[in-house]
Structure formats: C-alpha cells, structure tokens
Amino acid sequence: MIVDADKKEHDFCQTAPFTLLPSPFPRHIFQQAVDVQQATNLLYFRISWDYEFLFESNQESLRHFVDILRRVHEAGIKQPKTLLIQRADYMCHGQRSDEFKLKQVEVNNIAASMGWLSEMASCLHRRVLQDLNVPDDIIANALPENRPIDTVAEDIGDQSALILFVVEEVNQNQVDQRHVEYRIDELSSRRAKCVRLTLTQCAKRCVVT
C-alpha cells in the first residue's frame, strides 16, 4: 500500500501489515459470523433501496449525501443490476471472567476493499503451515476457503462489463485495487474493462443513461 506520509507526493509503497501464521479464533464464534452474514447482507441491501427511510433518517447528519441521493433518485435508476459487495469486520471479545463473544467492529459498503490482500494472506498462511508440515486435512479444516475476487467477478455475470472504480484523489489502496482489476481481466479474458475515476472526474465525465 502507498506510504501514508508520502502519498500526496510520491508513490512509495510498503507491505501491508500481515501475520506469518493465522491467528487462532474460536470456531463457534467464527461460525456465528458466517451464519448471520447472509441475513445481514439482505438487511443492508433492502435498506439501501428504502429511499424514504434513508431520506428521513439521514437528513440532518448526512445532508449533502442525502441531497445527492435525492437528485439521483428523482432522475430515475437506470442501472438494471445491483451487486452488494459488503465487508463486515469482527473481533473476538474475551475477558478472564467471561466467555468469548463475537463483536462487530464495522460494516463497509463503500470502502469494500482489501479483498485481494485478504485472499493473499490466506494463501500465505496455507503455504507456511504446509512448510511447517501441518497435515493437509488439518489445514483444510482450520483455514476456510477465501476467494472474494473470484466471487465478485462471477456475480457480476457479464464478461464484457465496464466496471467503474470510484477512487480517492490520493489513493493509498491502489495496489490492492489493481490486483482486483488484474483478476477481473484474467477471468474475463480481458473483455471486461475497469475504469478508475475520482468523484470529481465522475462529475465531469459520467452521465446517467
């Protein structure tokens, strides 16, 4: 990822933080997160289409964004497909006098990045455990499948799609995003096209048709 101190002037990169071995996590706690995810995704998806609720509940705190949403909604929704890409962050909360509990830290529907980095971390952990002669059946049981980029690309379902990445003016996570782009290239045999624009560029170059 781009070094934070130099990101406005340079393209110096550093390795994103990672662990050499996977962090132990109680399976029943992990399974709780898995079990609730589909219902959580559906909840957020339905909320995102409940415009009156969004207008009323965010009018004061997010006035500028609500104004943008209202203008887009009044112009009419032109896109026939919607794909929810959500990143839910959890931690395992534990105290000496209490049992482990699942705690949700945040849910990201806009900044749903780090898919490629998390996938590569899983690959690294699998390889390190193999190098340590951990039996394959134990690795398969302990490390869940993690292939977010393939899942997103497959769910888009259009190999000739034009995919817009809305990025920051100074983008610290572009390395992660580039590998998402490269994987989409590979899965679509270069037929899908990825375009990277800031919100300012979108306002100048994009129209709703």
Residue 45 lies in a domain: yes
Counted domains in the chain: 1
Q: Quick check: is 171 in a domain?
A: no
Q: What is the pLDDT of residue 104?
A: 93
pLDDT at 6: 56
- Give CB contacts under 8 A, 24+ apart, made by 137-142: 142/22
The string of pLDDT tens digits covering residues 15-55 is: 778 899 998 889 999 999 999 999 999 999 999 889 899 88
By DSSP bridging, strand 193-198 and strand 162-167 are parallel
- Domain-located, residue 98: yes
What phi-psi label fits residue 122: left (phi over 0), alpha (psi between -120 and 50 degrees) or beta?
A: alpha
Contact 202, 166 (CB under 8 A): yes
202 belongs to a structural domain: no
Tell me whether residue 143 is in a domain. Answer: no
Residue 193 parent element (H or E): strand 193-198
Has residue 190 got a pLDDT over 70? yes
Q: How far apart are CA 10 and CA 37, in angstroms?
A: 39
Residue 35: predicted pLDDT: 96
Q: What is the mean pLDDT of residues 63-79?
A: 84
* 98 pLDDT more than 80: no
Q: Is residue 60 part of a domain?
A: yes
Cβ–Cβ contacts within 10 Å for residue 76, how many?
Answer: 7
In a domain, 145, yes or no: no
Mean pLDDT of the chain: 85
Structure tokens at 69: 């949403």
Quick check: 188 and 157 in contact, CB under 8 A? no
Does some domain include residue 181?
A: no
Residue 51 belongs to domain spanning: 23-112
Q: How confident is the model at residue 2 (pLDDT cuts 50, 70, 90)?
A: low
Instruction: Please say if the pLDDT value at position 8 is more than 90.
Output: no
Distance CA 49, CA 64 (A): 18
